[in-house]
Amino acid sequence: MINRMLITNALISFLVFIPLLLSAQADKKYIRQGNRDYSREKFQDAEISYRKANDDNKRSPDAVFNIGDALYKQNKYEEAARQFSDNINMIDDNDKKAAGLYNLGNSFLQTKKLKESIEAYKGSLKLQPDNFEAKYNLAYAQDLLRQQEQQKQNQQDQNKEDQEKQDQKNDQDKQNDNQQNNDQKQDQQQNQQNQQKQQEQTISKEDAQRLLNSLANDEKNVQEKVKLAKAARERKLTVKNW
């Protein structure tokens, strides 16, 4: 009875192991095919094979890592970064995790996510301090970040300077407008004064003409009176001839 139970348990274990074995074999088969395509620079075909391996074995860290590599070679950096992130979370081996972090840093670097790439390189170097390429890429990313921040600061300074110049120009324009308004008011006042003077001068001329006319009339009257007086004297002095 005991032997039969042992045999039955062994058979069940064997039956359970067979699908796992077949799945692992299919996983390796597709990965090998993907590796062949990858070496021939057929990166899209390699991606398909790696995804098939991942479909057969949902928790295949190697397949996930290789999908990221194939995507990276196709310049699909954001998709590659997601695959490397998944791979990092799936493994405990420090060497493989360091490789995943290094590739993640490269993907972030290609998409200009400099701070994220720096953190990824630092994480990789914590696990593999002697990785020269990770050190170089870390320094490169840090230098790019400094340049980016300097450019940002320069742009902010330039914007501030431009704003100050614009404010000064606005103030100057306002002053010019005020001065122009004042000049216009002064011109209007001057015109009014000139018009008033012209009116006064016109009135004075009219009065002067009336005065001249009056004087002329007076002189005429005087002359008439003189003539009349002279005529009267002549009549008195004339001797009548009989």
How does pLDDT run across 192-217, given as a tens digit for each residue? 888 877 776 655 667 767 767 776 77
Neighbours of 145 (CB within 10 A): 14
Assign 57 a pLDDT band (cuts: 50, 70, 90): low
Measured distance CA(130)–CA(106) in Å, rounded: 17
Identify the sign of the CA torsion 95, 100, 103, 109: negative
pLDDT tops 70 at residue 67: yes
Q: In the chain, which residue ranges form alpha helices assigned H by DSSP? A: 2-39, 43-56, 61-73, 77-90, 94-110, 114-127, 132-237
> Rounded to the nearest 5°, which phi and psi values hold at 129?
-60, -20
Assign 121 a pLDDT band (cuts: 50, 70, 90): very high
Burial per residue of 181-194, b for 16 or more beta-carbon CB atoms within 10 angstroms, e otherwise: eeeeeeeeeeeeee
pLDDT of res. 157: 92
Region 99-127: mean pLDDT is: 97
Closest CA to 88 of 70, 109, 111, 105: 105
pLDDT tops 50 at residue 18: no
pLDDT of res. 60: 86
Mean pLDDT across the chain:
82
Closest CA to 128 of 101, 160, 92, 155: 101
Measured distance CA(72)–CA(102) in Å, rounded: 13
What is the residue-wise DSSP string for 51-70?
HHHHHHSTT-HHHHHHHHHH
DSSP 8-state symbol, 193: H
* pTM for this prediction: 0.61
Which residue ranges form the domains of the chain, and what is each CATH number? 32-91 (1.25.40.10), 94-146 (1.25.40.10)
